[in-house]
């Protein structure tokens, strides 16, 4: 059975990595990996790119920033029980 073109397109998209977007101010907007989860029994482990790494509970601060509209997060599944938490700042702040 041959793989469909949409499957090949998805694989190419996944290989490209984070996208750089230009917002209205001319600034580039990056998605950063802020946490990793590799085991179903473990918790999220913040990375050095986490914006609230100096806080006692950095991922709680991330969740609060999302609720306030200061941050956008997405979860990416890399494999069985292996996830990355990605974050970026919104183009338009409320």
Q: Does the residue 8 lie in any domain?
A: no
Q: What is the pLDDT of residues 74-85, one digit of tens each?
A: 999 999 989 999
Q: Does the residue 12 lie in any domain?
A: no
Q: Does the residue 71 lie in any domain?
A: yes
Residue 4 burial (C-beta neighbours within 10 Å; 0-12, 13-18, 19+): exposed
Q: Does the residue 84 lie in any domain?
A: yes
Q: Does the residue 89 lie in any domain?
A: yes
Q: Does the residue 29 lie in any domain?
A: no
Note the residue count of the chain. Answer: 94
Rounded to an integer, what distance in angstroms lies between the CA atom of residue 79 and that of residue 62?
Answer: 24
Predicted TM-score of the model (pTM):
0.66
Return the structure tokens found at 89: 């700042």
Q: What is the pLDDT of residues 23-76, one digit of tens each?
A: 555 566 689 999 999 988 888 999 999 999 999 999 999 999 999 999 999 999
Q: Does the residue 20 lie in any domain?
A: no
Q: Does the residue 21 lie in any domain?
A: no
Q: What is the pLDDT of residues 13-30, one digit of tens each?
A: 666 655 555 555 556 668
Counted domains in the chain: 1
Range of the domain at 63: 41-94
């Amino acid at each position: 059975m041959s793989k469909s073109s949409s499957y090949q397109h998805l694989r190419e998209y996944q290989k490209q990595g984070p996208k750089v977007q230009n917002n209205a101010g001319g600034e580039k907007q990056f998605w950063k990996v802020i946490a990793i989860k590799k085991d179903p029994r473990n918790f999220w482990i913040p990375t050095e790119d986490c914006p609230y790494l100096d806080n006692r509970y950095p991922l709680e601060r991330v969740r609060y920033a999302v609720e306030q509209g200061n941050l956008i997060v997405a979860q990416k599944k890399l494999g069985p029980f292996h996830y990355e938490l990605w974050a970026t700042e919104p183009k338009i702040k409320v």
